[in-house]
């Protein structure tokens, strides 16, 4: 009979082991929709991931709907991809070549159970079955299999087909999402939390950052990777790379640089001139067309005169004989009584007077004219030159008539323009510069004479200089590196060792738990009873609630449910503490940082633990919790708990009649009223006091 029981026990243990998994290969397990899921602890090929999942009683996760797909995306490490249970088992060869923008149907894909897809969430232009430039050289396959036949999910939940490519990591490796139909049970050995500096140097961790503003997402599995080096030899962590950018708020005032320039202007000169004429007076009109008055910047007479006299009228004014001597803008020569006579010489308006006489305001779109009156007694000549300055004007706009000629050309006018400058490391938002004015109306009056002379304004806008140095958004002090064609940086530092020659990278500060424990219970080492007697004495225990290096989160080894289910790998003492907690024998004292890592001059907490005081019975824990309150005795701190029992003096002060023992009575298999329980407590006190009296008598002898 005993032999049969041994055989049954053997096979029971064997099958328990067979259907358990090695938890070291996986991150934290998550429950969803009746199934359990986990991300692999490291990157691997699709085939390796499929084999690992099958060997441990699971399979690569299959997203069956949008809700499950969204849940699975939360398990993918940020900035990474993870294999899912979808592939092209036939390695279809309908390839897409680079830069062709093509994509193909997903009908070639099956899930790992060889079923067609019932749900998909492809990224843009996916799947494309891409064949890269050097995968085939001169008709010879450099890589195998050609194309992209395995599906991975990005951390945003979108899918992409992937494959092996020449010049890249081969075989292609990603994390993997593994699904289990039943609750996994671990058979792995307890995980150690001891790391040598040599194991950490040159590495980085996705849960460790020296950037206080960077949010660590511990819902995604931890990554421990080797640091890389950029072309300049600068080490950087390849996890959660963020593109460096300028700080839009980094703005300062700038300066200005003055530059002289010349403005080119088109003009036409319309000249009216007679030869020598005799005893003649009359009106003369010069006619021209203007297509767009906005393009005309100036219309002036540059020369005007006659032998004997002449009058210039406003443009587009049809002056009659009766108005002749009263409506003029300019009389040559001037006569206050409006009478003219032969002067026996040529009379012309001086240039200063003509330059002040701007006639543009009288012009209009379309047909224009300007009327003049000339008079000669005996013999003489008439002469006038009008200059039109602007764009879109030419001699073709002038109506030809007797005594009239037209010429065109360019003239240049001095002006200044300003370029806005900035100190080193900054760039001008408004650069200023040459505005290429068409006319003086495009210029700014900077010297106060009422005439435009510069462009743009000689005073730059405030805070016109934007910083150009690119920073990591979370830490401006961290250097950016050139990687994958972009200037990037990671919020995770590379571990580079301690500050001294023998300084340790990891500092273990979990040293005070247990130092206050008293275990002699009054007995000396020589066997005599003369030490300090402690009643209801306890013992301190600790468990790791989180560990960034090992990826412990969600309570870690302090979560008794996870410990019992084998969902986390813990030490034997942590498993024992979980059992004591299950029996309600312990009181949690507090959480504290139990391990730190040195990052330059800073120290970052990478492991937290919780300390507990545990007792050998439920009553001992209850007496301690309520008795300490009565006499004002504390529990110490999380880092240095005080689990010692009551001294004989302290015990004498306890009032058991005021203690609530309902937790204890509720734990019994039979009903006990509160008064009975308190009576028993008093009896316990009496018995303890008798024992103390006996011990004291022994000390006296």
pLDDT at 674: 59
As averages over each run of 10 residues, the pLDDT of the chain (701 residues) reads 35 35 69 88 91 90 95 89 95 82 84 94 91 84 89 95 88 93 59 61 85 77 81 82 84 92 90 91 95 92 90 95 90 65 64 89 96 90 94 90 93 87 92 80 73 78 90 74 83 70 67 60 45 81 88 84 76 87 92 87 86 90 92 92 90 88 76 58 62 55 51
Strand partners, 178: 38, 60
- The helix or strand, by DSSP H or E, that contains position 178, with its residue range, turns out to be strand 175-180
pLDDT at 493: 86
pLDDT at 554: 79
Residue 25: strand, helix, or coil: helix
Tokens representing 265? Answer: 């202007």
Query: Where along the chain do its domains lie?
Result: 17-180, 248-469, 506-696
Tokens representing 382? Answer: 């008439």
Residue 606: strand, helix, or coil: strand
How would you classify the pairing of strands 330-332 and 347-348? Answer: unpaired
Whether the bond into 229 is cis, omega within 30 of 0: no
Distance CA 461, CA 473 (A): 27
Q: Which CATH architecture has domain 17-180?
A: Roll (3.10)
Whether the bond into 456 is cis, omega within 30 of 0: yes
Exposed, middle or buried: residue 421 (CB in 10 Å: 0-12, 13-18, 19+)? middle
- Torsional sign, CA 653, 656, 662, 668: positive
Helices (H) and strands (E) in the chain — how many of each? 11, 36
CB 634 within 8 A of CB 587: no
pLDDT at 423: 93
Whether the bond into 580 is cis, omega within 30 of 0: no
Distance CA 384, CA 394 (A): 18
Distance CA 246, CA 237 (A): 21
Contacts 24+ apart (CB under 8 A), 673-677: none
Residue 35: strand, helix, or coil: strand
In eight-state DSSP terms, residue 443 is S
Place of tokens 């999380």: 638
State the pTM of this model.
0.47
Distances (CA, A) of 107 to 9, 88, 129, 172, 460: 50, 9, 12, 23, 62
Whether the bond into 655 is cis, omega within 30 of 0: no
pLDDT at 15: 32
Distances (CA, A) of 389 to 292, 295, 360, 406, 419: 13, 9, 10, 13, 28
CB 152 within 8 A of CB 159: yes
DSSP for 342-382, please give it.
Answer: --SS-EE--HHHHHH---GGG--SEEEEEEEEEEEEEEE-E
């Amino acid at each position: 009979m005993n032999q049969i029981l041994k055989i049954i026990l053997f096979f029971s243990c064997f099958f328990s082991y067979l259907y358990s998994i090695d938890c070291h290969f996986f991150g934290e397990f998550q429950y969803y929709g009746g199934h359990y899921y986990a991300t692999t602890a490291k990157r691997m090929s699709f085939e390796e991931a499929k084999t690992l999942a099958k060997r441990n009683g699971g399979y690569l996760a299959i997203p069956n709907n949008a809700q499950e797909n969204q849940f699975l995306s939360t398990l993918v490490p940020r900035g990474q991809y993870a294999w899912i249970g979808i592939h092209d088992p036939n390695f279809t060869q309908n390839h897409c070549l680079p830069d062709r923008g093509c994509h193909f149907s997903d009908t070639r894909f099956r899930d790992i159970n060889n079923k067609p897809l019932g749900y998909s969430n492809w990224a843009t232009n996916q799947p494309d079955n891409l064949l890269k430039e050097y995968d085939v050289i001169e008709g010879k396959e450099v890589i195998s299999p050609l194309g992209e036949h395995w599906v991975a999910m990005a951390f945003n939940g979108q899918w992409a087909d992937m494959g092996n490519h020449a010049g890249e990591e081969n075989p292609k490796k990603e994390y993997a999402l593994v699904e289990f139909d039943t609750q996994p049970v671990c058979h792995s050995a307890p995980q150690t939390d001891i790391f040598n500096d040599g194991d950490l140097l040159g590495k980085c961790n996705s849960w460790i950052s020296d950037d206080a503003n960077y949010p660590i997402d511990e819902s995604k599995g931890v990554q421990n990777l080797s640091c890389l080096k950029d072309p300049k030899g600068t080490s950087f962590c390849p996890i959660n790379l963020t593109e460096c950018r300028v700080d839009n708020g980094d703005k300062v005032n700038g300066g200005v640089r003055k530059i002289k320039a010349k403005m080119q202007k088109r003009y036409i000169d319309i000249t009216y001139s007679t030869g020598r004429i005799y005893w003649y007076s009359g009106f003369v009109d010069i006619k021209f067309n203007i297509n767009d008055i906005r393009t005309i910047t100036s219309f002036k007479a540059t020369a005007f005169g006659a032998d004997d006299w002449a009058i210039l009228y406003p443009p587009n004014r049809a002056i009659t004989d009766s108005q002749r001597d009263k409506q003029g803008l300019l009389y040559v020569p001037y006569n206050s009584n409006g009478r003219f006579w032969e002067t026996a010489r040529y009379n012309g308006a001086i240039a200063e007077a003509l330059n002040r006489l701007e006639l543009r305001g009288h012009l209009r779109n379309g047909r224009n004219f300007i009327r003049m009156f000339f008079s000669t007694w005996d013999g003489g000549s008439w002469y006038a030159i009008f200059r039109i300055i602007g764009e879109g004007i030419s001699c073709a706009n002038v109506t030809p008539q007797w005594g009239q000629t037209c010429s065109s050309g360019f003239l240049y006018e001095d002006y200044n323009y300003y370029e806005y400058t900035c100190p080193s490391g900054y760039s001008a938002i408004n650069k200023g510069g040459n505005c290429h004015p068409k006319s003086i109306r495009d210029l700014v009056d900077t010297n106060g004479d009422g005439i435009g002379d510069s462009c743009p304004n000689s005073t730059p806008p405030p805070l016109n200089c934007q910083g150009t140095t690119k920073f990591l958004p979370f830490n401006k002090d961290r250097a950016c590196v050139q990687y994958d064609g972009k200037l990037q940086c990671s919020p995770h530092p590379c571990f580079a060792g301690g500050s001294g020659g023998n300084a340790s990278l990891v500092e273990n500060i979990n040293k005070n738990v247990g130092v206050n424990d008293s275990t002699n219970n009054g007995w000396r080492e020589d066997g005599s009873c003369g030490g300090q007697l402690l009643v209801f004495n306890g013992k301190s225990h600790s468990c790791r609630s989180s560990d960034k290096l090992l990826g412990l989160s969600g309570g870690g080894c302090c979560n008794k449910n996870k410990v019992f289910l084998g969902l986390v790998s813990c030490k034997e003492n942590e498993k024992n503490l979980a059992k004591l907690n299950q029996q309600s024998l312990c009181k949690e004292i507090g959480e504290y940082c139990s391990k730190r890592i040195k990052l330059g001059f800073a120290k970052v907490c990478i492991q937290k633990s919780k300390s507990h005081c545990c007792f050998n019975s439920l009553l001992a824990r209850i007496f301690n919790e309520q008795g300490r309150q009565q006499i004002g005795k504390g529990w110490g701190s999380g880092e240095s708990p005080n689990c010692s029992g009551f001294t004989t003096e302290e015990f004498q002060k306890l009032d058991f009649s005021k203690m609530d023992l309902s937790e204890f009575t509720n734990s019994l298999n039979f009903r006990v009223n509160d008064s009975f329980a308190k009576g028993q407590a008093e009896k316990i006190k009496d018995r303890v006091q008798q024992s103390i009296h006996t011990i004291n008598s022994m000390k006296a002898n």
